[in-house]
Structure 1
Amino acid sequence: MLFRLLTLCLLTSTAFAQTYTDYDIAFPNAAHHEAQVSVTMHALPPEVLELRMSRTSPGRYALHEFAKNVYAVKAVDGQGKDLEVTRPNPYQWNVAGHDGTVTVTYTLFANWGDGTYAQVDETHAHLNIPATFMFAPPLAQRPIRVTFHPRHDLNWKVATQLKPFNDTTYFAPNLDYFMDSPTEISDYDVREFTENGKTLRFVLHHNGTAAELDQYLTGVQKIVQQERAVFGELPDFDFGTYTFLACYLPNVDGDGMEHRNSTVLTDVEGLAEGGMEGNIGTVSHEFFHCWNVERIRPLSLQPFDYTEANMSGELWFAEGFTSYYTNLILCRAGLISPETYVKRLADGRGLNAVLTGVARDYFNPIEMSYQAPFVDAATAVDPNNRSNTFISYYTYGSVLGLALDLSLRERGNGLNLDDFMRLMWQRYGKPELPYTVRDLQATLADYAGNEFSDRFFGQYVFESQLPPYEQLLAGVGVVLRPAAPDRADLGVRVREGTGVWVLDGNPEKGGPAYQAGLEKDDVMLTFDGKKLKKWLTWDDLLKKYRPGQTVSIQYERYGQKKETTLTLRANPDYETVLFEQAGRPVTDALRQKRQAWLGAR
């Protein structure tokens, strides 16, 4: 999917002499979420033309089956003669008997606004390209022109990383770049700023005010500055510009998706409804990706496959280390306090998930990454045991990033994760050479020594051992401690009902509920011999007990009443707080170490 800027420029300059694939899209029935699409191809060989809808989307790893929303497909040749269209499989349309030119038209239904799908309504046309346009695999290297027809009655205009020919027609050098170029067509607001000699545009489709956008942009600029400081420079953006495509409206779904020279940012919260603080983390995460994953890119994602799920064992680094930097950058930019940053380290998607997760018994971080095709917005109707067997590669990788950063800093000599990431940028990202896990290990060895690299990868990447987080965090003045050691716990979520409590999820393997034989959807009727009352909450009930107590439970499963006993355990969760909050002394040397970690660059 990646290509050098020089190649891109050459393609741009010579494209006018080449045969284009021409796309056209209009939205006369936007109120009912339909778009009218056509694609015209010239100079075709005489054999059957094969057209497909993608089954995947750049930045996603699961299958999405975009063909399901395509209908009313028709084809004509260069003389306007109707051509027969056949379906050899659910994702493909074949056209035979043409004269070297084929125009295919179809209707697209689109009503899910996020970083993967498309949405068309009277607020906007939010287009992720794989969810919108058919393509012919043999023509993947042809340049592409696409003409958008904005609804002028709705004051729509076009925003995209594609290179403009004019106000409505845009250029892509090949299919990969086209597929990687989301487009927002709406009555949006836009701001531009310059950083490191590069132009960055922030496009915002929202119901808020210009003043709110200006305030939000200040935070965006701080993020760009702090992330540039990690790598030392911004990438050379193709066509000279990076575009944030933000859509904060009640009709979209919360998401963020990175692309080579742009990112999609969607959320239901407007800036005045909590989005000013709630959405900025996605900006931090997605912009970091313009280095880590878009240019520092795993070999396993090269080339990106539009016909099958894309599996990579490096997502703990590509997504996880990016997640580590998400909040760290917010702290360095002054958008959250050090106290808030440290508190977030142990939340449910952070250290707690790894420290308390039994899934490490099954998979190491590489193998967790392999699960992406099953979890990355993938759908299935059958239940799974993922709560016991899976830790998100975002989360696992994030806390590994924390461990590596603090381990490097503990070694002294100015070592830190920023400089390792910069070395990865210089070695793999800037020249756009895809990497493997072994390349990561070798680069760390060059940076910090073979012994350190072999130990880190051997214990924490190729195996599932836990780094010494308590020691590492103490080295920067942070306490890692049990959050509620006196609170009783069953090892399963409980959903409160009307006078009954239902086990809401699979019991944690080895926990009290698991050992007692309880299972998801069991209905608890009595607890410790007492009927459960409607007015009593589950938390209030557990406050009456202490870890180590044994209680009897009567429950119902499949219409039959059963009984069991279990011994309550201590709540396993951890919390992270600054030494000052825990009443521990803080030396000047410790403050300096913490400032070197969390302070602005």
Structure 2
Amino acid sequence: MKNKIRPATSIHYRVEVADAHAHLFRVTLTIPLPAAEQRVALPVWIPGSYLVREFSKNLQCLEARQGSRKTVPAEQLDKCTWQIRCDPTTPLVLTYEVHARDSSVRTAWLDADRGFFNGTSLCLRVEGHEHAPHALELPAPKALAGWAVATGLTAQKVDKRGFGTYVAADYDELVDCPVEMGTFWSGTFSACGVPHRFVVAGAAATLDGDRLLADTRKICEAEIRFWHGSKKPPYKSYLFMLNAVDDGYGGLEHRNSTALICNRKDLPRLGEPKPSEGYTTLRGLISHEYFHTWNVKRLRPGEFDSYHYDRENYTGLLWFFEGFTSYYDDLLLRRAGLLDNAAYLKLLNKTINQVMQTPGRLVQSVAQASFDAWVKYYRPDENTPNATVSYYTKGALVALCFDLTLRSESRPAQGASAGATLDDVMRALWQRCKAGPMHEADFEQALLTLGHRSYAPELARWVHGRAELPLKELLQQHGVAVFEEPAQLAQRLGLRVGESQGVQIKAVLRGGVAEQAGFAAGDEWLGLEPAGSARTRHAGQPDGWRMSRLDDLLLYAGTAKKVVALVSRDKRLMRLELAMPPALTTWRLAVQDAGLVDQWLAPQA
């Protein structure tokens, strides 16, 4: 059935392939009833990715006209806003081009093989008309035979390949439905009675599409049932858009679709006996972005009740909306039957060690990390691990702590019904906030109601504080053994390095022996020689050793307590006296009590 829309008053965009080799889209924007001084603006960010990206840098050749092709001046007011003085009784038509050469999920791409765009990169927002119906027309490019279209927008009049006109209730919906174009692979499945489509661009001939669809269906059904039981989800259909490339990873959630990017080699392959580690990571990404359909696209920070596209939109709740989603993405793979307990604990183990190896966890709270996302998380440098903590990874561990604490405190007597869990809290928040804006006070109240006590102390320590989380105690209470094992050499030194061409220092971690010796990010570690009195040369013994990888340190240092590191910095050769690193440890998780672990992890009946 066609979407009911008043063409005379709708904002209309026509997006054409102007020149695929020049990577140019041409956009024609028609405003039926403009203001006398009509303003239009291109967003500076895209919801779900908290960085001002200045999309207007790619816009060029803006022209405005009315009536019989009469040109009217368009005055640029700032970096992303234009004002057109015009006759309000005559439709205003704007034309412009957008250069599209960003292969990420956040912006736009166009070449002779593929087209992709988010509305925030191409569609000027018409001030005063944001809540009017919007239409998007996609004419088939004549020079690119065989192309098709995939989008979550509602089709109004399209051909069998998807080219034609789509409609949206308002600007928010328009820019929340990205568009994929090209000769992609496509498959469909039904999850809990709802149609889903999966399209993949750039896949090799070895793609096992049946396996991808079957696994994704299990994920979708597990998450629909998590939120709604036997009821239907809050959308009529859903679209996955995956771009397979040589090297890339990421995703961006939307209200009834998601855009994904992965390494081509991580796709499931025909004849592959068991999932690769890369494919397990891809399934976790699929699970993560799909969970966002509920947790951030509908249940969302109160500050996101309405978006401001021209500036930063601050919230201190990304630890909940990204972190808790990061907790559930792998957990729901387990409940969907795509992981066993040991495989799940291996993924959790990786997250724990990532956080524990980040000195910034003792400097920045996860709530502050959420607020600072605009200036810190998306702009990493060599000091990032010392000054910040990820609201994804630590937020996931905060979710783990709340879940296991609730389970411990409400663990029923033998034969009694199960007590409260974080699952119950999430569903209670969905009901309490009516699938809409949420504040931290709502989370605190849901914990109080279901946990029968105040969790304000935990919120203060785990979310707003910088103390270590009680992970070991809680995991052991739920049947997980925690073993301390020798850490990797880089961690013991307090370094993050690259070893593709010698030993390149990427980051020097706070408090480590490398920092004490004077190492700096950007150094090239060339070699080592004995320190102090050990420099006395013995017959046949070289003065020093050339290093090609970090482990050479242990080979050549022997039993020495100190060595001299030979370092190149800004083309200068330096000698840094380095104490041999202490015996630090890292964690390894294992199932100790299978019954207790199953109560937490096993698929729900």
Shorter-chain TM-score category?
0.7 to 0.9
1:63–1:373 contact (8 Å) kept in structure 2? yes
Residue identity opposite 1:470 in structure 2: K
Residue identity opposite 2:196 in structure 1: L
Identity of aligned residues (%): 26
2:334–2:602 contact (8 Å) kept in structure 1? yes
Aligned to 1:574: 586
Equivalent residues in 2 for 1:201-216, closer than 5 Å: 201-208=197-204, 212-216=208-212
Residue identity opposite 2:459 in structure 1: F
2:382 and 2:204 mapped to 1: Cα distance? 41
Tell me whether 1:540 sits opposite 2:548 in the alignment. Answer: no
2:15 alignment partner, SS class: strand
Aligned to 1:309: 312
Equivalent residues in 2 for 1:9-408, closer than 5 Å: 13=4, 15-16=5-6, 19-46=9-36, 48-98=37-87, 100-151=90-141, 153-167=144-158, 168-208=164-204, 212-233=208-229, 236-238=233-235, 240-250=236-246, 253-269=248-264, 271-272=267-268, 276-347=279-350, 350-375=351-376, 377-378=378-379, 385-408=383-406
Residue identity opposite 1:370 in structure 2: F
CA pair 485-573 structure 1, distance change in 2 beyond 3 A: closer
2:280 and 2:568 mapped to 1: Cα distance? 44
CA pair 533-501 structure 1, distance change in 2 beyond 3 A: farther
1:458 alignment partner, SS class: helix
Can you give the 5+ residue segments of structure 2 that lack an aligned partner in the other structure?
Answer: 159-163, 270-275, 413-418, 532-541
Residue identity opposite 1:80 in structure 2: R
2:137–2:166 contact (8 Å) kept in structure 1? yes
Please give the TM-score of this superposition, normalised by the length of structure 2: 0.87
Once the two structures are TM-superposed, the CA of residue 38 in structure 1 deviates from its matched residue by 0.5
2:596 alignment partner, SS class: helix
1:363 alignment partner, SS class: coil
Does 318-327 or 156-165 show the bigger shift?
156-165
1:190–1:203 contact (8 Å) kept in structure 2? yes
Aligned to 2:466: 464
Aligned to 1:582: none
Q: Deviations over 1:121-157 (max 9, x none)?
A: 1222111110112122221111101100133642222
Residue identity opposite 1:441 in structure 2: E
CA pair 28-231 structure 1, distance change in 2 beyond 3 A: same
1:355 and 1:468 mapped to 2: Cα distance? 12
Does 463-472 or 61-70 show the bigger shift?
463-472
Tell me whether 1:446 sits opposite 2:449 in the alignment. Answer: yes
1:398 alignment partner, SS class: helix
CA pair 487-481 structure 1, distance change in 2 beyond 3 A: farther
CA pair 58-494 structure 1, distance change in 2 beyond 3 A: closer
2:111 and 2:369 mapped to 1: Cα distance? 38
1:222–1:333 contact (8 Å) kept in structure 2? yes
1:230–1:421 contact (8 Å) kept in structure 2? no
1:27 alignment partner, SS class: strand
2:121 and 2:249 mapped to 1: Cα distance? 17
1:62–1:310 contact (8 Å) kept in structure 2? no
2:226 alignment partner, SS class: helix
1:442 alignment partner, SS class: helix
Once the two structures are TM-superposed, the CA of residue 176 in structure 1 deviates from its matched residue by 0.8
Can you give the 5+ residue segments of structure 1 that lack an aligned partner in the other structure?
Answer: 1-8, 580-585
1:482 and 1:512 mapped to 2: Cα distance? 21
Q: Deviations over 1:257-283 (max 9, x none)?
A: 101111111224153566644422211
Aligned to 1:475: 477
Once the two structures are TM-superposed, the CA of residue 12 in structure 1 deviates from its matched residue by 5.5
Aligned to 2:429: 424
2:14 alignment partner, SS class: strand
Please give the TM-score of this superposition, normalised by the length of structure 1: 0.87
Aligned to 1:409: 407
Q: Deviations over 1:10-60 (max 9, x none)?
A: x964x32760111001114113211111100012232x2212111011211
Aligned to 1:4: none
2:299–2:436 contact (8 Å) kept in structure 1? yes
2:313 alignment partner, SS class: coil
Once the two structures are TM-superposed, the CA of residue 64 in structure 1 deviates from its matched residue by 0.7
1:318 and 1:246 mapped to 2: Cα distance? 22
2:310 alignment partner, SS class: coil
Residue identity opposite 1:476 in structure 2: H
Tell me whether 1:517 sits opposite 2:521 in the alignment. Answer: no
1:108 alignment partner, SS class: strand
2:400 and 2:512 mapped to 1: Cα distance? 28
CA pair 377-123 structure 1, distance change in 2 beyond 3 A: farther
Does 559-568 or 91-100 show the bigger shift?
559-568
Tell me whether 1:596 sits opposite 2:599 in the alignment. Answer: yes
Q: Deviations over 1:422-473 (max 9, x none)?
A: 2122222xx233111222112111111224x123212211212222211222
2:282 and 2:68 mapped to 1: Cα distance? 51
